[in-house]
Structure 1
Amino acid sequence: MSNLEKLDLYITVAQRKTLFDGNDLKMNIINHMPQLNKFTFNICSLSSFYNEINLPSNEHIQKIFSNFNNKQIIYWTDYFPKEKQGYCHIYSYPYQLKYYNMITNNFSGGIFKYVRQVLLYDERPFEHEFFLRIEKLFPFMEELTIRNHEQQINKQFRKLKNENQDLSIVKYPYLKQLDLIQTCIDYYEQFLFDTKMDLAFGVRVYMRYKLAKEVTQNFTRNRTRSNCAKINYVNLCTRIQFAGYSDNFSDGKQVPEYIKDYFPHTQID
């Protein structure tokens, strides 16, 4: 290993007292490889030792990485109070991986032209402006998963001021798959309302039936109709009950015609 000249390192570190930082990188890896001249890395770490007060600041991490003169390094931290976990992500830039997981509202930014799969997670709500930001940062994103059950705050203010029509429309032109299973109804509105989102044609969408029914007003709402018409596959991910029969959309039984009409180009499971 001491003669290694090139190293690509991608690891996740969990269940330790401290977050993985520049000191770990230098003492445990770089110092043991004196011939190393090309080093790309992507390191995520979680620790329950930290709280919002003692979580290392970006300034602290920057100081630790001050000796890494020949590499642009991106680093950011966050804290999840419900899980009582501190989080740190450190990676060399430009980012080379096809996936980027655990993006929160504290995400540091950059342009990620190689990334195709994105996972958004936070215990704070993702507002409309955040999704506009994702559009610019991940221009070739094909798969998007969202895990967030917190209701959007800015949406409530817009309702009071009747400003929804002034929103910039979010567009993910290369999006092929969208997973909304682990979200609340606000994110169904975010992606199905044509005043907020212009879905790409042919996208696969994973939703919960109860929330899909609610946001589309029992599959009659005009505001969600145009985006639903662009979906080519939808998994409603639950056993549902209709008058006269039940169906889970996965055992070959007939889907009600009014739902078929609402998703005219869609395979429904």
Structure 2
Amino acid sequence: KKLPTLKYFWLHSDTITSAYDELVVPLLHRMPNLEKLDLYLNVIERKTFFDGNDLKMNIINYMPQLNKFTFNICSLSSFYNEINLPSNEDIQKTFRDFNNKEIIYWADYFPERRKGHCRIYSYPYKWKYYDDITNHFPGKIFIYVRSISLYDERPFEHEFFLRIAESFPLMEELFVRNQKQQINKPIEKSKKLSIIKYPSLKQRFLNNTCIDYHEQFLFDTKTSLPFNVRVNMQYGLVKQVTHNFTSNTTRSNCAKINFANLRKQMKFPEYSDDFSTGKELFRKHIKDYFPHTQID
């Protein structure tokens, strides 16, 4: 059944769908008089990535009254590999007729997962979240984004984090997933790095990372954390990075943390149970190293 009186439609879904062509497209075809359309979708296992031709053929041509179309579509597919990933130049050509000021497209291939990854969105970017940023992230400024996640099967170097901090000046949450060791660390030791600042950061999650990213965020020669930040880190890696909670290089950033989720990875003798109070008592040198931190 058609929806001829509908003028504005907003569809945001964080849930991954494999039924875009079967469910979403037919739904949009029921809205011939739509004037504004806002889409935020995560699509998997589609045989083709999204481009301007696809959006025109499946959406825009069915909505002659459409005058504002904002979208953010991420797709992950095993039908693509490093050889047949469409280039940024080819994709950009398909958006020549769009009214949007700018369309951003970038693609990646994850060899371990054997999947191609593509993200395409209208700019300026209006959403509060930006997930699964890789090394191919093209940059620009995102003033509305408050939460981001980083993921790649290639290492994130210091310059990448600098670019992230510049692109997301009001970022409050940062999730990092990367088990690949940084390649440029030996080179970085011989030169003075730009210290990265995250002035609005409130929470940082490093649970699924290797030791290099604990160093990246705790070394004061690389990062200056804001005060009262909450962190999720792996206790064993924190212990190594801080040289058993004695290093001066990490002391200043650790002193700025007001909550650290470490306890579930801690084992005797680093803490002990006080059965009379029901509280776990951390050794004094750990508490001294995190003077303002609630450790959980």
Q: What TM-score does the superposition give when structure 1 sets the normalisation length?
A: 0.93
Give distance in 1, aligned partners of 2:188 and 2:241. Answer: 18
Question: For residue 141 of structure 1, what is the amino acid of its counterpart?
Answer: M
**Which of 135, 147, 152 is equivalent to 2:165?**
135
Check conservation: 2:103, 2:120, Cα contact below 8 A.
Answer: yes
Verify: 1:106 aligned to 2:133, yes or no.
no
Once the two structures are TM-superposed, the CA of residue 156 in structure 1 deviates from its matched residue by 2.1
Q: Is the 8 A contact 2:270 2:283 kept in 1?
A: no
Q: Would the alpha carbon gap of residues 215 and 244 (structure 1) be closer, same or farther in structure 2, given more than 3 Å must change? A: closer
**1:252–1:50: structure 2 CA closer, same or farther, 3 Å change rule?**
same
Q: Tell me the equivalent position of 1:176.
A: 202
Structure 2 matches for 1:17-32, cutoff 5 A?
A: 17-32=47-62
Distance 1:21 1:39 in 2: 14
Partner in structure 1 of residue 283 of structure 2: 256
Go from structure 1 to structure 2 and tell me whether the alpha carbon gap of 1:136 and 1:244 turns closer, same or farther (over 3 Å shift). Answer: closer
Match of 1:149 in 2: 179
**1:246 offset after TM fit, Å?**
5.0
| 2:69–2:100 CA contact under 8 A, matched in 1 | no
- What do residues 188-234 of structure 1 show as CA deviations (whole Å, max 9, x unaligned)? 11100011100000000000111111111111111100000000000
Is the Cα–Cα contact under 8 Å of residues 206 and 237 in structure 1 kept in the other structure? no
Deviates further, 172-181 or 20-29: 20-29
Alignment partners' CA distance in 1, 2:263 and 2:46: 36
**1:207–1:237: 8 Å Cα contact kept in structure 2?**
no
8 Å contact from structure 2 (residues 45, 79) kept in 1: no
After TM superposition, list the pairs within 5 Å mapping 1:1-269 onto structure 2.
1-159=31-189, 162-163=190-191, 166-236=192-262, 238-243=264-269, 246=272, 252-269=279-296
Which runs of at least 4 in structure 1 moved beyond 4 Å after TM superposition? 244-247
Distance of 2:133 and 2:271 partners within structure 1: 41
Gapped regions of structure 2 (runs ≥ 5): 1-30
Contact between 2:100 and 2:123, CA under 8 Å: does it hold in 1?
no
Structure 2 CA distance for aligned equivalents of residues 245 and 100 of structure 1: 37
In the alignment, residue 68 of structure 1 is paired with which amino acid? F
TM-superposed CA distance for 1:132, in Å, is 1.0
Asked if the contact 1:240–1:246 (Cα under 8 Å) also holds between the matched residues in 2, the reply is no
CA distance in 1, matches of 2:187, 2:108: 26
CA 1:41–1:224 in structure 2 vs 1: closer, same or farther (change >3 Å)? Answer: same
Give secondary structure in 2 for the equivalent of 1:238.
helix
Backbone CA RMSD of aligned residues? 1.5
Q: 1:255, CA displacement in angstroms?
A: 1.9
Residue 245 to residue 233, structure 1, CA distance change in 2 (3 Å) = closer
Cα deviation 1:166-202 (Å, max 9, x = unaligned): 1110001010000011111101111000111000000
For residues 228 and 131 of structure 2, what CA distance do their matches in structure 1 show?
A: 24
- Tell me the distance in 1 between the aligned counterparts of 2:83 and 2:52: 20
Shift of 1:245: 6.2
Query: Contact (CA 8 Å) 1:22, 1:61: kept in 2 or not?
Result: yes
Q: Which has the larger radius of gyration?
A: 2
Deviates more, 1:214-223 or 1:18-27: 18-27
Provide the rounded CA distance (Å) in 1 between the counterparts of 2:271 and 2:260: 20
The alignment partner of 2:130 has SS state of: strand
Shift of 1:62: 1.2
C-alpha distance 195-56 of structure 1, shift in aligned 2 (>3 A): same
> Any gaps of 5 or more consecutive residues in structure 1?
none
Q: Look up the SS of the partner of 1:12 in the other structure.
A: strand
